[in-house]
């Protein structure tokens, strides 16, 4: 019996914990690297006699520089406003688009779905040129609105496509039952479909938030004057001087800049799982 138990444990280690450990190290290494570089004094950073993967002494100078010599807090606020605004706007539109394309059958529906996905494939490096004209015509340059309105150009196609697929997985009979019981189409959507689609909506929201938080090009060309910069643009502007990189502070900004995304993930992932469970047990 002891041997059987030992084999089970070994098998569990080989099939579960070993791959899990490998993936965890693989995925966490960039964060570990950012953290130790952000905490190393410059003398250690450039000393190749020391093991680069270890910390020999700790300094908070890079974080101090980030907060005192750059407008990092303002950049973070800007990024938060822009990302939340554009994510809400994109999700609002995507829910209706995804519902219509996923639920109704109408002529050209499939083609429209494909075209929306194709929009996602248009590279921002091309799209920013005509968008510049529009942003200027509406007088939105260097305002939050310039990004809140332009980010959905890549968020909506992605979120719509994702939600379109999710709406199709929800049994249409539930909606029919609501309609038979006297609900209108909007009521059925609001009270029946949307709660069941919450995991999909949250997933789309997480992705929109992440894409918006990390976006660089539109933020660079539409909103980067004075303190109106997002984190990706601001840190590059302030912490790269020609061919000299302020690695410690750059990594500090990388670590701190990834915190909101990590928080969003951890928060929504919990909801995502509970939403899945609720959906499975209802009905």
Binding site for other proteins (CB under 8 A): 42, 45-48, 125, 128-130, 132-133, 135-136, 141, 217, 220-222, 224-226, 236-238, 240-248
**Quick one: 178 or 219, whose CB is closer to other proteins?**
219
CA distances in angstroms from 46 to 55, 180, 246, listed in the order given: 13, 72, 12
Give the shortest CB-128-to-other proteins separation in angstroms.
6
**Quick one: 229 or 260, whose CB is closer to other proteins?**
229
Give the shortest CB-255-to-other proteins separation in angstroms.
18
Cα 174 from chain centroid?
31
Give the shortest CB-91-to-other proteins separation in angstroms.
27
Give the shortest CB-242-to-other proteins separation in angstroms.
4
Phi, psi for residue 245 in degrees, rounded to 5 = -105, 135
**Quick one: 50 or 162, whose CB is closer to other proteins?**
50
CA distances in angstroms from 252 to 36, 73, 98, 121, 239, listed in the order given: 9, 13, 39, 32, 11
Helices (H), the chain: 2-12, 18-39, 42-45, 61-69, 72-103, 109-121, 124-137, 144-150, 152-169, 172-180, 185-188, 194-214, 217-222, 231-239, 247-281
**Quick one: 136 or 171, whose CB is closer to other proteins?**
136
Give the shortest CB-54-to-other proteins separation in angstroms.
16
**Quick one: 48 or 186, whose CB is closer to other proteins?**
48
Return all residues near 282 (Cβ < 8 A) that are at least 6 apart. Answer: 196
The tokens describing 36, both together, are 């130790």
Place of tokens 């109106």: 228
B/e letters for 155-171, b = 16+ CB within 10 Å, e = fewer, are bbbbbbbbbbebbeebe
**Quick one: 13 or 245, whose CB is closer to other proteins?**
245
Give the shortest CB-237-to-other proteins separation in angstroms.
6
**Quick one: 130 or 283, whose CB is closer to other proteins?**
130
Give the shortest CB-234-to-other proteins separation in angstroms.
11
d(Cα 99, Cα 165) in Å, to the nearest integer?
9
d(Cα 267, Cα 277) in Å, to the nearest integer?
16
d(Cα 176, Cα 189) in Å, to the nearest integer?
11
């Amino acid at each position: 019996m002891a041997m059987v138990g030992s084999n089970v444990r070994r098998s569990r280690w080989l099939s579960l914990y070993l791959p899990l450990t490998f993936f965890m190290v693989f995925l966490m290494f960039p964060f570990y690297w950012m953290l130790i570089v952000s905490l190393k004094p410059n003398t250690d950073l450039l000393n190749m006699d020391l093991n680069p993967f270890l910390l020999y002494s700790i300094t908070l100078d890079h974080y101090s520089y980030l907060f005192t010599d750059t407008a990092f807090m303002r950049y973070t606020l800007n990024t938060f406003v822009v990302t939340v605004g554009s994510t809400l706007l994109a999700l609002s539109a995507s829910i209706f688009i995804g519902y219509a394309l996923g639920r109704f059958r109408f002529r050209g529906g499939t083609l429209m779905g494909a075209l929306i996905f194709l929009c996602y494939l248009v590279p921002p490096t091309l799209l920013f040129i005509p968008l510049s004209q529009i942003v200027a015509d509406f007088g939105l340059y260097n305002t939050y609105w310039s990004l809140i309105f332009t980010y959905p150009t890549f968020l909506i196609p992605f979120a719509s496509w994702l939600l379109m697929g999710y709406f199709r997985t929800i049994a249409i009979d539930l909606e029919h039952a609501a309609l038979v019981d006297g609900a209108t189409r909007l009521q059925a959507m609001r009270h029946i479909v949307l709660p069941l689609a919450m995991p999909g909506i949250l997933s789309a929201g997480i992705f929109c938030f992440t894409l918006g938080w990390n976006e660089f090009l539109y933020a660079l060309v539409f909103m980067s004057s004075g303190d109106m910069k997002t984190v990706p643009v601001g840190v590059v502007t302030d912490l790269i001087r020609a061919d000299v990189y302020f690695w410690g502070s750059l990594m500090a900004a990388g670590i701190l800049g990834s915190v909101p995304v990590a928080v969003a993930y951890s928060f929504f992932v919990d909801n995502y799982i509970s939403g899945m469970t609720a959906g499975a047990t209802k009905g």
